[in-house]
């Protein structure tokens, strides 16, 4: 299953694996060093360890200026892996997760209000069954945001292109905007509003119960941040597609989408053609 973190250490709740050369907390350069440590740890598959060492979660907005400078350096030095990690750190989904966790995890959902007939895509279990349950987890599943509740209930939000989340502090419960509002989750500390610009209303909410039902929303695509070059190449050349179509296919690559399809890993084939291995050899097609 996709995780919000990059190749997160499984069950590592102890001390960090190393100190990552961090200066003392409170030092003027601590945040810059913490940003570098998180990216380098992600490269090595030690994200959770670096989070413990720095005290910052992956996607911390406070570190954005430092990560942006690291992104510029990665481009200048042609470090494609570091550039990819920096872009992922700055991903809007990660920022939503970071903002949501301190506001809703451990909080009891008082009610769900839905004003758009196109938002809710499931009938069972009823969305009303989420009311009265506490949020236990907030995670990423591809490009979806998942709120995990008591008794294995899950709310799966797909914002698509124009969907946005807004937090309005309590009291009282915030009004849902008339034209762009789709729905709202009311908590004791505030209201999480869901809006969408435009008229197509592609954003969706699925309510499921059980990990098997949640897994049905996982397209089984490759997590590009935890995969090696050979894995990436194998998936990229599995089917005969243009490079951009392959990168944006959610069945092949996890959470890239059209917005991030412009940057490429060194394992990718030449941009002017696509390649798929067949029984008689390589099959090539024009872009």
Q: What is the pLDDT of residues 129-148, one digit of tens each?
A: 999 999 999 988 877 899 99
Task: Tell me: do 111 and 210 sit in the same domain.
Answer: yes
Give a yes or no: residue 264 inside a domain.
yes
Tokens of 52: 């413990």
Confidence (pLDDT) at 225: 58
Give a yes or no: residue 52 inside a domain.
yes
Percent of the chain with pLDDT over 70: 80
Mean predicted lDDT score pLDDT of the chain: 79
Task: Tell me: do 233 and 165 sit in the same domain.
Answer: no
pLDDT category of residue 5 using cuts at 50, 70 and 90: very low
Task: Tell me: do 256 and 204 sit in the same domain.
Answer: no
pLDDT category of residue 269 using cuts at 50, 70 and 90: very low
The predicted model gives 162-177 an average pLDDT of: 89
CATH number, domain with residue 127: 3.20.190.10
Task: Tell me: do 41 and 137 sit in the same domain.
Answer: no
Query: Alpha-carbon distance 187 to 184, whole Å?
Result: 10
The whole domain housing 160 covers 106-215
Task: Tell me: do 141 and 113 sit in the same domain.
Answer: yes
Q: Is it the case that residue 261 has pLDDT exceeding 60?
A: no
Q: Is it the case that residue 55 has pLDDT exceeding 80?
A: yes
Q: Is it the case that residue 153 has pLDDT exceeding 70?
A: yes
Give a yes or no: residue 30 inside a domain.
yes
Give a yes or no: residue 191 inside a domain.
yes
Q: What are phi and psi of 90, to 5 degrees?
A: -85, 0
213 touches 136 (CB < 8 A) = no
Task: Tell me: do 210 and 150 sit in the same domain.
Answer: yes
Task: Tell me: do 86 and 115 sit in the same domain.
Answer: no
Burial 28-64 (b: 16+ CB within 10 A, else e): eebbbbbbbbbbbbbbeebbbbbbbbbebbbbbeebe
Query: Alpha-carbon distance 99 to 95, whole Å?
Result: 6
CA distances to 13, 14, 207, 230, 238 from 265, in Å: 32, 33, 35, 11, 16
Give a yes or no: residue 265 inside a domain.
yes
Q: What radius of gyration, in Å, describes the C-alpha atoms of the chain?
A: 20
Task: Tell me: do 61 and 155 sit in the same domain.
Answer: no
Which of 63, 90, 117 is the C-terminal boundary of a domain?
90
Task: Tell me: do 260 and 238 sit in the same domain.
Answer: yes
Tokens of 141: 């599943």
**What are the tens digits of pLDDT across the range 191-240?**
999 998 877 788 999 999 999 999 888 776 777 656 677 888 888 888 88
Task: Tell me: do 127 and 177 sit in the same domain.
Answer: yes
**What are the tens digits of pLDDT across the range 58-112?**
777 788 889 989 988 998 999 988 888 888 787 777 778 888 999 999 999 999 9
Q: Is the pTM of this model over 0.95?
A: no
Task: Tell me: do 199 and 246 sit in the same domain.
Answer: no
Give a yes or no: residue 223 inside a domain.
no
Q: How many domains does the chain have?
A: 3
**What are the tens digits of pLDDT across the range 119-128?**
999 999 999 9
């Amino acid at each position: 299953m996709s995780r919000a973190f990059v190749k997160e250490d499984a069950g590592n709740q102890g001390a960090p694996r190393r100190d990552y050369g961090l200066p003392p907390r409170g030092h003027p350069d601590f945040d810059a060093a913490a940003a570098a440590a998180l990216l380098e740890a992600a490269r090595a598959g030690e994200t959770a360890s670096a989070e413990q060492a720095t005290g910052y979660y992956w996607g911390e907005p406070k570190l954005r200026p430092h990560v942006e400078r690291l992104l510029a350096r990665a481009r200048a030095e042609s470090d494609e892996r570091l550039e990819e990690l920096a872009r992922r750190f700055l991903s809007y989904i990660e920022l939503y997760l970071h903002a949501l966790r301190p506001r809703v995890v451990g909080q009891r959902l008082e009610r769900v209000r839905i004003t758009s007939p196109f938002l809710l895509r499931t009938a069972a279990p009823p969305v009303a069954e989420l009311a009265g349950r506490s949020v236990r987890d907030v995670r990423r599943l591809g490009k979806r945001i998942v709120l995990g509740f008591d008794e294995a209930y899950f709310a799966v939000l797909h914002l698509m292109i124009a969907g946005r989340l807004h937090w309005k502090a309590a009291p009282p419960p915030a009004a849902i905007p008339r034209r762009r509002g789709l729905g709202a989750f009311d908590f004791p500390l505030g209201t999480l509003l869901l809006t969408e610009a435009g008229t197509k209303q592609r954003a969706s909410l699925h309510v499921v119960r059980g990990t098997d039902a949640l897994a049905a929303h996982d397209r089984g695509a490759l997590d590009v941040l935890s995969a090696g070059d050979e894995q990436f190449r194998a998936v990229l050349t599995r089917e005969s597609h243009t490079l951009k179509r392959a990168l944006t296919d959610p069945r092949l690559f996890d959470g890239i989408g059209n917005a991030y399809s412009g940057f490429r890993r060194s394992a990718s084939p030449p941009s002017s053609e696509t390649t798929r291995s067949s029984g008689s050899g390589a099959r090539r097609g024009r872009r």
